Amino acid sequence: MSEPGTPSCAASANVLLKSVICDLKYREPTVQLKVGDNVYKISKSRLSLRSPFFRGLFARLKDGSEDRPPIQLDISEPEWKAFVWFIHVDPLALEIHSAAPASTENCALYLGVVISGLHFGARDVAGWAIDRALGMLTQPARNFPVDLELARLLVSVASRWRGGACDPIITTCRDLVCDALHPNRLGELSDDPIRALTIARVDKFVLSHVYFYILNKGTDYNWKDDARVEPVDRIRLLCGAYSLSHQNTWAISTAFSQSSSSSTSASWTVSSLFALAIGPTVATQFTQPSGVTAQGRQAPLQWRPEIDRRIMCARDRLWNHFDDKQWSLAM
């Protein structure tokens, strides 16, 4: 007799979430929670087990609170659903999910657990989930790109994680997004870095890299007429192009000498001046060579972000080039 097929982790998670949304029939006290347009009736004990926030909330609620109007939670629904998945998943399903190949969906689920865990004071849950998410995302042979949704989640984790700018979790989350912007990477962010503007505004470090790679696309990438680029972005891009062009003073004179010697009058745009100023793109792969362990086995490659060599040593100061406040420009 053949063994029954094992459902995929994604399918199992979807079935579980649909069951929760459709109101699981708990045999224990529940609470109604509203996230977005959906109302969830969730077991109080499951929520309290991992979240100090919910333990404190339920301690303040009076008996009979099951009949009260739903409590509104200030959290994005994808992250909330990831937390609901976490508190309901059984050990076997969790083991199956953990053993599944790395994918965009799996990483997004773990990052959602990280954000919701931090939001509800469950730092141990967040620590468990971030280890799994970053473990997948920093595999040297990762075969899926960091898309816009993963970038949004990574920036959100970096903004919420407690620690200084040099905290390895914050650094890695930021580096993964910046790496995805590099022209040598495949994916929607390297093809169209303007996409990342909406999710990068809360993090100046990441935002400065988005601006850099927008300018790096050259004159064929018409950001000046793109409706997604807001007025403040245009000012910062102009400031950055001008400031970065002065990093190599020879480029400015070269640009105008070429323009004046041409028989046809040319209009040197800010983007072309920037391209001349910083020179051709030369990618630098930061992947370290593999070593040999004490047991003589080959050590795995350690992931490093791919960063343009022109900003490699000045990434922490890159925002200064785009900071419009330094110019005292009236908006």
Residues 304 and 273: beta-carbon distance below 8 Å:
no
Distances 100 to 18, 48, 226, 318 between C-alpha atoms, Å: 21, 29, 40, 38
Residue 201 belongs to some domain of the structure: yes
Distance CA 189, CA 212 (A): 13
Residue 314 belongs to some domain of the structure: yes
Among 119, 144, 169, give the residue marking a domain's end. Answer: 144
Domain range for 305 is 153-287+301-331
Same-domain check for residues 182 and 321: yes
Q: What is the pTM of this model?
A: 0.78
Residue 293 belongs to some domain of the structure: no
Same-domain check for residues 255 and 193: yes
118, 119, 125, 131 alpha-carbon torsion, rounded to 10°: -40
DSSP 8-state symbol, 180: H
Each residue's pLDDT expressed in tens, for the chain with a length of 331 residues: 434 444 445 555 555 555 555 545 667 788 999 999 999 999 999 999 999 999 999 988 866 555 789 999 999 999 999 999 999 988 888 888 888 889 999 999 999 999 999 999 999 999 999 999 999 999 988 899 999 999 999 999 999 998 776 889 999 999 999 999 999 999 999 999 999 999 999 999 999 999 999 999 988 899 999 999 999 999 999 999 998 887 753 233 333 333 333 333 333 445 444 544 444 443 333 333 333 333 444 445 678 899 998 888 889 999 999 998 887 776 5
Residue 22 belongs to some domain of the structure: yes
H helical segments located in the chain = 9-21, 44-50, 52-60, 77-88, 91-99, 104-119, 123-137, 148-160, 168-181, 188-191, 197-200, 204-216, 231-245, 249-261, 270-278, 319-322
Residue 242 belongs to some domain of the structure: yes
Residue 294 belongs to some domain of the structure: no
Among 125, 144, 163, give the residue marking a domain's end. Answer: 144
Residue 275 belongs to some domain of the structure: yes
Split into its structural domains, the chain has a count of 2
H helical segments located in 262-297 = 270-278
Same-domain check for residues 135 and 187: no
